Chains A and B, each alone.
Chain A
C-alpha cells in the first residue's frame, strides 16, 4: 500500500502526481486490446464428431471473443483490481450501505463442496445438510426480529422489498380489500420504496417529516384512509434516527386496516438490541450483504430475505423448508393465495452460508455488541465534528449514521460533491452524498462497527481539516479533486449523451462520429 504526503495509507495508489501508467498505478488496456481470438488460458481437448444434433442451428456469425493465457489474465485482473478502493484497504463511510468487514471464514465456508458443489434440483434426500443450514439461518433471522415467517429466496434488498409488498397486496386481496391502492411513503425514504410500490400498481402518497427528522404519528393518521394498503417506513430512518413513535405509527396503520412494511436497510443499528416484531412491523427485508457481512463484490450479489408477521405468513412465497418425520422437506409448490415464486431455485445459498457463519461467529452477544459499537461510532463522529459541520437534526442521538448538511459550506464555492471528492485524496471513500433528499447537500456517514477508534480519529481529523480549509476559501483543492486517484473526475455528460457501452474494433467504427 502506498502512503500519501501525511504518511497515511490511502487505500488507492497515490504514487507520484497521480498520472496513470506509473509502476504502481497501472493504466491497463482493455481485454480486447491485449487478447485475441487465438489465445486461451484453458486447455480443453479439441473433439471432433460426425453428425451433430444441432438441427441446422449451428453458429455461422462471428464470436470474436478475446482470450488471454493464464499469466496474462492474472496480470490483467490484478492490475485492474488495483484501481479499486475496497473495505480491506480503507474505510467506506457510506451511509445506508453498511460497509463492514467481510470475514474470510465466511468465504472459506461458502466454498466447502458440500455447499458450493450441490445442485438446486438434486434429490432432497441428498441435500439435508443444506436444508438444515437454511433452517438454522431462518431461526436466527426469526429470533432476531421476533417475527413469524421468513422467505429466504429474494436476491437482494429491493427484490425482498418487492416480495414483501407482493405479500401485502395478496393479503389485502384475500381480505377482499383490493380497493386499497395507496401506499404511504415518507419523503425521506430511499428511492426503492416508491419504485417498488409503483411497480405493483400502487399510488404513492408522501408523508411529510417533522422538523426533527422523524415521522409524526399525526401526519400518518391524517394520511391514512380506507384506500391505504400499507406504509413503507425505514427504521432507523434514512436520517439516521430511530423513529420514536414507531409503535404508535404501527398501531394507527393496523387500526386503519393497512400493513406496516419496514425497510430493513438499517437493521445493523439494532440487531440483537431491538426486535422489529416488537415494534409492530408486518414485513421487513434484511440485506445479508449489509447487516450480515456478505461481501458487496463491487455491486452484488446481495441477498434480501424477508421476515413476515403472523398476518402475512400465509402469503410467503415458495420455496421454504419444513420439518417432517422423515427429515427436512423443501416445499417448492403450494396452492392457494401464496405468491408462488420470485426466483428460480432457492435463492442466494452462497450468501446464506456466509451470513450464518457470521452469526455463529458473533453469537447473540456479539451481534448486540456490534450494533452498539456501530451506534457508538456514529455518535462519536457526530460529537467530534459537530463544532464545524452542521447537524440538521440535533434533537435525538443518532443511530448508526451521522448526518450533516452543507450549510457549513455556504459561500465557500465548494459543493458537497467537491468536498466528498477531496476525501479521496486523503485516502477515504466519499460518504453518501445528497441522500436523504430532505436535507440540503446531505452527507450521510456510516462508519459501521468495524472501524477502530484510531481510524475514526484519523477520519475526523481529515474531515475537520478539510472543512476548515473549505471555509478558509481554498476552493481549488476541492473543485479539482481528486488528483491522486487513478482517474480525475470523469465526464458523465459525455458518457450519457453519446453512450459507448461496449468495445468496438477501431476498424469497425464508423468514420464520422454519430
Chain B
C-alpha cells in the first residue's frame, strides 16, 4: 500500500521491541465481540490510476459551470481564480501545515492571517476582523449569538431579504426560540424590518445585496437600530460587491458577516467556503473565531501569534464564545492571495466589470417578452418574474445547456408567491454571447 511505509519485517521488529506477540495484542482493551468481527465488503486498495478513473467517471456526469452559459448565484458565485492562487495554496508549507499554535515555526500562516484580517477589515470598513469562520451562513448564526451576548437582549429580527439557507441555519441554532422573528420573503425589495425594532431587540440582520439582488439602505437601518440600543448585523453573500458599494462599517454596521468564496475560491458544489466576520474594536472579546495579533519575539523581532484565545473552547470549555475549533485557513489564504493580486485597483475594476455585465444581463432580460426584472437596484444579481413556474423553465433551459439561475422555489418550497421567480447572476466571466444565448432560449421557451 503506497501510503504505508512499513515493510512486514519492520512491523515484526517493532512488535518485538514492544513485546507484543501480534498486532491484536495491542487491541486487547477492545471487547472481543467488537474486534474485527465483520466483513466490511468494501473494495480492496487500488492503484492510483484506477482510483483516478473512478473519480473521473463520477465528475464527468456533472455539468460544469464552464461548460456553457452560466447565471447561477444566490450565495455562491463563479469568478475567475488566477492560476497563481491555486498554485500557491498547494505548496506543501501552506497545504499541509497545522493550525499555528507553535508560532515560532508558523510565522508564514500567522503573518498571512494578519494580512487577511487587515484586508477584510478594510473592505468592510470595520475596526477588526477575525481569522475566518466556516462560511457565511454559520457566521450569521454566530453573529446573532454575539449580538445577544453584547446587548444582553434577546429579540433577533431577520430581514426577508436574507438568504433562506442563512435564515434556516439561524433557526437551527436558535431552535424554537420565541425571540427570533423571521420576516416573509421580500422579492420586490421592500421590507418592514425597521418597524420590528423595539427595546428588547438585540439585533436586526440585513443582507445587501439581498437574496433577490436588491441593495438595502443600511444607514437608515443602523440609525433605527441604534436608537433602540440594538445592533445592526450586515450580511454580504457576494463579497465582490464591496469593491463598488459603500462599506457597511461606514454606514453604521456593528457586525459584518460575509461569504468570502467569491475571492480566490472555486464553487466546489457549496464548500469549503469562507466565513468573514468583522466588528467594532470594543466588541472584540465577544467575537467568535481565531484572532492573530502582532507582537515581538525574545530577540525583539516582529512576529505574530494567535491571541485572545481564552475566548475559545479549548480553554474556556463550557464558557467559550462558540464551540468552533477549525476555521477555513486555506480558503482564507486563497482569498488573501487573490485580494493581494487584485489590490485596490484590481478589486474595483473587478466589481465594476461585474456590475457592467449585470446591467447588460438586466437589459437583455427586460427585452424577453413576458419577463419582468424586479430590481431597480442591483450589483451583479437580479430577480425576474416569468409567466411560467420557474423550476420547470430552468430545468428545460438546462437541457439546452444553459444554467439560467436559481428558481426561488428551490429555497422557498412552501411559498407559492415565489414560484415564478428566477434569481440570476452575472460575473466577469459572463460574455455577451452567454447573455444572447440565454435571452434567445428564454424567448423560445416562453413563446
Contact with A along B64-107 (1 / 0, CB 8 A): 11110010101110100010101011111111111110111111
Given A31-B115, A297-B94, A502-B128, does the pair A65, B342 have CB atoms closer than 8 Å? yes
CB < 8 Å neighbour of A59 from B4, B107, B244, B349: B244
B4–A488 touching, CB < 8 Å: no
CA distance in complex: A274, B169 (Å): 34
CA distance in complex: A192, B173 (Å): 16
B135–A155 touching, CB < 8 Å: yes
CB < 8 Å neighbour of A366 from B3, B30, B82: B3
Q: How far apart are A55's CB and chain B's nearest CB, in angstroms?
A: 4
CA distance in complex: A301, B20 (Å): 38
Task: Kindly list chain B residues whose C-beta atoms are within 8 Å of the C-beta of A78.
Answer: 88, 91
B40–A144 touching, CB < 8 Å: yes
Task: Kindly list chain A residues whose C-beta atoms are within 8 Å of the C-beta of B323.
Answer: 158-159, 161-162, 192, 195-196, 199
A451–B5 touching, CB < 8 Å: yes
B297–A487 touching, CB < 8 Å: yes
A103–B76 touching, CB < 8 Å: no
Interface size on A, residues (CB 8 A): 206
B41–A273 touching, CB < 8 Å: no
Task: Kindly list chain B residues whose C-beta atoms are within 8 Å of the C-beta of A360.
Answer: 43, 46, 51, 54-55
CB < 8 Å neighbour of A125 from B163, B269, B395: B395
Q: Which residue of B lies closest to A161 (CB)?
A: B323
Q: For the complex, is B178 an interface residue (Cβ under 8 Å from A)?
A: no
B134–A155 touching, CB < 8 Å: yes
Name the interface residues of A24-75: CB closer than 8 Å to any CB of B: 27-28, 30-32, 35-42, 44-47, 49, 51-55, 57-61, 63-68, 70, 73-74
B45–A361 touching, CB < 8 Å: yes
Q: For the complex, is B447 an interface residue (Cβ under 8 Å from A)?
A: no
CB < 8 Å neighbour of B26 from A368, A376, A452: A376
Q: How far apart are A498's CB and chain B's nearest CB, in angstroms?
A: 9
Q: For the complex, is A383 an interface residue (Cβ under 8 Å from B)?
A: yes
Name the interface residues of B147-196: CB closer than 8 Å to any CB of A: 163, 165-166, 168-169, 171-173, 175
The segment from B199-207, B221-229, B302-310 that touches chain A is: B302-310
A32–B102 touching, CB < 8 Å: no
B45–A362 touching, CB < 8 Å: yes
Task: Kindly list chain A residues whose C-beta atoms are within 8 Å of the C-beta of B63.
Answer: 118, 122, 126-127
CA distance in complex: A274, B307 (Å): 39
Contact with B along A112-128 (1 / 0, CB 8 A): 11111111111101111
Task: Kindly list chain A residues whose C-beta atoms are within 8 Å of the C-beta of B318.
Answer: 194-195, 197-198, 204
Q: For the complex, is A97 an interface residue (Cβ under 8 Å from B)?
A: yes
Q: How far apart are A386's CB and chain B's nearest CB, in angstroms?
A: 10
Given A76-B340, A115-B269, A362-B45, does the pair A300, B172 have CB atoms closer than 8 Å? no
B299–A146 touching, CB < 8 Å: no
Q: For the complex, is A209 an interface residue (Cβ under 8 Å from B)?
A: no
Q: For the complex, is A351 an interface residue (Cβ under 8 Å from B)?
A: yes
Which of B4, B104, B165, B290 has most A Cβ within 10 Å? B104
Given A31-B115, A44-B346, does the pair A488, B297 have CB atoms closer than 8 Å? yes
CA distance in complex: A499, B395 (Å): 52
Given A105-B52, A346-B269, A384-B17, does the pair A502, B121 have CB atoms closer than 8 Å? yes
A489–B298 touching, CB < 8 Å: yes
Name the interface residues of A78-97: CB closer than 8 Å to any CB of B: 78, 80-89, 92, 94, 97
B122–A65 touching, CB < 8 Å: yes
Q: How far apart are A492's CB and chain B's nearest CB, in angstroms?
A: 5
Tier of interface size on chain B: 35 or more
CA distance in complex: A219, B57 (Å): 52
CB < 8 Å neighbour of A333 from B97, B99, B324, B413: B413
Given A20-B301, A361-B46, does the pair A192, B343 have CB atoms closer than 8 Å? no
CA distance in complex: A435, B94 (Å): 26
A341–B172 touching, CB < 8 Å: yes
CA distance in complex: A241, B94 (Å): 32
Q: Which residue of B lies closest to A384 (CB)?
A: B17
A68–B341 touching, CB < 8 Å: yes
Q: How many A-B residue pairs have CB under 8 A?
A: 706
Given A47-B353, A89-B92, does the pair A453, B31 have CB atoms closer than 8 Å? no
Q: For the complex, is A372 an interface residue (Cβ under 8 Å from B)?
A: yes
B313–A344 touching, CB < 8 Å: no
B295–A490 touching, CB < 8 Å: yes
Q: How far apart are A180's CB and chain B's nearest CB, in angstroms?
A: 15
Task: Kindly list chain B residues whose C-beta atoms are within 8 Å of the C-beta of A196.
Answer: 323
CB < 8 Å neighbour of B23 from A146, A194, A372, A480: A372
A275–B38 touching, CB < 8 Å: yes
CA distance in complex: A353, B59 (Å): 10
A166–B172 touching, CB < 8 Å: yes
Given A76-B340, A77-B88, A373-B6, does the pair A489, B297 have CB atoms closer than 8 Å? yes
Q: For the complex, is B432 an interface residue (Cβ under 8 Å from A)?
A: no
CA distance in complex: A71, B64 (Å): 31
Q: How far apart are B66's CB and chain A's nearest CB, in angstroms?
A: 5
CA distance in complex: A78, B123 (Å): 25
B96–A495 touching, CB < 8 Å: no
CB < 8 Å neighbour of A274 from B4, B34, B413, B414: B34
Q: Which residue of B lies closest to A485 (CB)?
A: B104
CA distance in complex: A101, B3 (Å): 8
CA distance in complex: A301, B28 (Å): 35
Task: Kindly list chain B residues whose C-beta atoms are within 8 Å of the C-beta of A88.
Answer: 92-93, 95-96
B326–A156 touching, CB < 8 Å: yes
Q: For the complex, is B442 an interface residue (Cβ under 8 Å from A)?
A: no
Task: Kindly list chain B residues whose C-beta atoms are within 8 Å of the C-beta of A350.
Answer: 266, 268-269, 271-272
Q: Which residue of B lies closest to A169 (CB)?
A: B175
Q: How far apart are A307's CB and chain B's nearest CB, in angstroms?
A: 15
CA distance in complex: A144, B36 (Å): 11
B65–A117 touching, CB < 8 Å: yes
Query: Beyond the given A121-B72, A125-B398, A246-B31, could you list 9 further A-B residue pairs with CB under 8 A, ordered by the A residue number?
Result: A30-B114, A60-B250, A77-B94, A103-B3, A119-B76, A300-B326, A339-B175, A491-B297, A500-B295
Q: List 27 A-B contacts (CB under 8 A).
A: A46-B349, A57-B217, A67-B344, A78-B91, A84-B97, A84-B107, A109-B56, A119-B403, A123-B398, A125-B398, A126-B403, A129-B58, A133-B55, A161-B323, A170-B175, A192-B313, A198-B317, A247-B34, A273-B30, A298-B94, A299-B329, A300-B132, A343-B271, A363-B42, A364-B43, A490-B303, A496-B307
Task: Pick the 5 closest A-B CB pairs, nearest first.
Answer: A67-B343, A114-B59, A345-B270, A297-B330, A129-B61
